[in-house]
Structures are given as structure tokens and as C-alpha cells.
Amino acid sequence: MNKFLSDVHSGKLTADSIQPDYYKNLSAKLVSAVAEGLGGKSFGGDDYRNSLKTYLEHNVYAFSAAKSMVMLEQFNRFLLDENGEIRPFAEFARECDTVDVLYNKTYLQAEYNNAIASAQMAEKWQGLQAFKYLEYRTVGDDRVRPEHAQLDGLILKSTDPIWNRIYPPNAWNCRCTVIPAADTDTPTDRDHAKDLERSADIQPYFKGNVGKEKVIYKAGHPYFKHGRYGKLKELDAEKNYGMPGIDKIYAKGDFPPISYMKDKASGLDWWMQQTGGEVRGSFDVIAADGVTVRFDNAFRNHVLEQNRDDRYRILNKAPDVLKNPDEIWSNMVKGKPSLTYIKYYDKAPVVVHVDADSTVRSSTMVEMQHNGKINTAEMIKIRKGILKFKQ
């Protein structure tokens, strides 16, 4: 935290800057909570949790970016004294201490617990949908909130829209759950169920069903206010994350050689080695962020057959880009996560685009150069949104 405070005090961080160390540590903690809730850091390509992971991780990284900017705002409030003069650093740090403890100990523990519970309940919903009736359950101890206790034993059809509004967790540190009810159980009178829902008084940013929405921290959360939520997709590598531009990156040199494949036949041979000899087969790669990405026949056809810019030359670099990226970016496109993996080679960056639906699959890959020059303008567009990883 001292580095964050030092960056604020020195004026290094401008409005809407994201302090990299704080962001990295915060997002790592919340991502670990998601992993605990889902029961692992990585899953097979056909495991529902692999796709769910991409949704939940996008949300917690976005939340971390928003909280980082909120912390900058909070610390900036203490920068000047009552005379409008910049406080000495030691005094400034003391003034910030109360806010630091509140946001990064008290609040963070609740946020961490909520991420675990939400991931658990999101994964659980996949199985619960198969049952006719579901029952709301509390832990049953003296820590249960009275408004949640009254929901205990509520039985409704699994298709009842009330589950879209009261599916746990329903508050910070909520420990409630939902279990299958027997087909012979008597469902709760629906008018009474609506009354219970109203009296539960669930806050807007908890009201929902994380299993359907695949969102832990909703847009109504205070960190997402001040117009930031809609702007997160516009966060820029240089302006907001303080990362070097493409020219500066390549000025440093020392990048791995790209070693192009010589022709389409070589590309096809390599492809068949990965798929066990099947031209229309597929293979999976576990990326650096633990996401299992499928390369299928549609990808092969797109890269080898449909494109006229000789993308076959870089086909064998796809696993390397995923396993050893320099950057990973995440954005929501039409309500679904879209991941961009970037690796810098000596000639130019290579980008692999990945889309998440029921299966997480790569849609395309491209070498970011034109006529022997790096396509800097396009790279600027690509390096936007939610940063998941950087070397």
C-alpha cells in the first residue's frame, strides 16, 4: 500500500489511473476466491466450470479495476491540508490509514467471502435446474439474519422467477444455500412467497441469480458508480494501466523468434499432429490464466483456408501464445466474455482471440503487422478493457 500512497503523493497517478501493484494483488485475491468456490483453478474443455470461470473472472477483474479507481479517489481526498497545501508524506499516510483499513481489510474480507459463496452457488445452479422443486436453507445458527431466517424452508419450482431474485448469496457474508426438494414436498403458497421476498429486503446489487447471470458484483455496486461501469471496456493499456506503448515495448528488443511455417501443407501437418490425425478434429490448450481453450475445425478452416494473409505461417504459435502470453485482456461482447492473448515476437505481436459460450474456443489468430511494419494502431485498439495479466 505504501507504493500506492507514494504514487498518489508524487502525482504519478492521474484521474482514473490504476495502480498496478494494488490491482494485481486485489484481483489475485478475488480470483483465488473464485477458484475456491468453483473447486479448482482449471477445468476440462467440456466442464461447465471452464466457461463459468471466464464469466466470473471477468467480473472480479472489472470489480478490482473499479475498486482501484475508488481507492485513488479516496486517497486523493487526503492529499491537501485545510490550507490547500500538499501534506508531508508521513502525515498523508496517517490520514489514509483509516480508509485503508476499512476498504482493504474489513470490506475486502467481505468481498472475498462473497466471491467464494457466489462461485459456489453459480456452479451449484447448473445441477439444481434438473430438479422440480428447490428449497431455501439457512445455516440455522444464531448468526443468521432474521430476514434470511424467514426464507428458510421456502419451497418453489426450480423454474419459479422468484429464484431470479432471492438466489443466495443475498448479502455480505451470507451463508444461505438452496437444495433440491423432494417431488412430493408441498411448495410454499406463492403469495406468501412473494411476501417473504419483499420482507427479506435484499439490496439491489445482491438481488439476482448468480447461476444465471454469472456475475458476482453487479452494476449497482458502489464501486461501479460515477459512470465507471460503462467505461471499463474503454480502459487503455497506456492511459489507465500505465503500461508502455508498442513502440516502447519493441524498443527494448530481445523477443523470441517467430520461425514461420513454410506453407499451408506444413500448417495442416502440424494441425493433424495436435488432433491425432483428424483434419476436422480439435484439441485443447490450457492457457496461462487456467482457461482451457478449444481449437476446433472452424478455427482451422478460418486460419488455414479462409484467410488470404498467410495466417498458416503462425498456426503453430497458438499454444505458445496461450501458455506464455505477455498480456491477457478480457471484454464482454454481446454478453459473453471475449479474451485476447498477446505475445510479442521479434517480427510482430501475435494475437489469439478466444470466445466463451458453453465451450471456450478460439475464433481466430493474427500476426499484427502489415507490409513488414507492426500494426500499432490496431494494437492500441486491442489493448483495451479489463487487464487479466501482464508480464
pLDDT tens figures, 9-23: 999 998 889 999 999
Task: Summarize pLDDT for 89-102 with one digit per residue, the tens.
Answer: 999 999 999 999 99
Q: b vs e for 161-177, b when ≥16 Cβ sit within 10 Å of the residue's Cβ?
A: ebbeebbbbbbeebbbb
Q: What is the DSSP letter of 367?
A: E
What is residue 227's predicted lDDT score, i.e. its pLDDT? Answer: 53
What is residue 228's predicted lDDT score, i.e. its pLDDT? Answer: 57
* Preceding omega of 169 cis (within 30 degrees of 0): yes
The answer on pLDDT for 335 being more than 70 is: yes
What is residue 153's predicted lDDT score, i.e. its pLDDT? Answer: 97
Contacts with 142 (C-beta within 8 Å, 6 or more apart), sequence order: none
Q: Do 200 and 151 touch, CB atoms closer than 8 A?
A: yes
CA distance 96 to 100: 6
CB atoms within 10 A of CB 301: 13
Helix orientation angle between 108-128 and 20-38, rounded to the nearest 10 degrees: 40
Arithmetic mean of pLDDT, 43-55: 98
DSSP string, 275-298: HTS-TT--EEEE-TTS-EEEE-HH
What is residue 327's predicted lDDT score, i.e. its pLDDT? Answer: 99
**C-alpha grid cell, residue 103:** 476498504
For Cα atoms 246, 60, 65, give the angle at the middle one, nearest 5 degrees. Answer: 50
What is residue 330's predicted lDDT score, i.e. its pLDDT? Answer: 98
Task: Summarize pLDDT for 277-313 with one digit per residue, the tens.
Answer: 999 999 999 999 999 999 999 999 999 988 778 999 9
Task: Summarize pLDDT for 159-208 with one digit per residue, the tens.
Answer: 999 999 999 999 999 999 999 999 999 999 999 999 999 999 999 989 99
CA distance 71 to 65: 10
What is residue 349's predicted lDDT score, i.e. its pLDDT? Answer: 98
Task: Summarize pLDDT for 116-174 with one digit per residue, the tens.
Answer: 999 999 999 999 999 999 999 999 999 999 999 999 999 999 999 999 999 999 999 99
CB atoms within 10 A of CB 377: 10
What is residue 370's predicted lDDT score, i.e. its pLDDT? Answer: 85
The rounded percent of the chain whose pLDDT value lies above 90 is 91
pTM score, whole prediction: 0.95
Arithmetic mean of pLDDT, 334-342: 97
Q: Do 291 and 44 touch, CB atoms closer than 8 A?
A: no
CA distance 77 to 15: 12
**C-alpha grid cell, residue 315:** 498456426
Average pLDDT, the chain: 95
Q: Which of 32-41, 57-66, 196-205, 217-226 has the lowest mean pLDDT?
A: 217-226
What is residue 372's predicted lDDT score, i.e. its pLDDT? Answer: 86
The answer on pLDDT for 62 being more than 70 is: yes
The answer on pLDDT for 377 being more than 90 is: yes
Task: Summarize pLDDT for 215-230 with one digit per residue, the tens.
Answer: 999 988 889 876 555 6
Strand partners, 156: 134
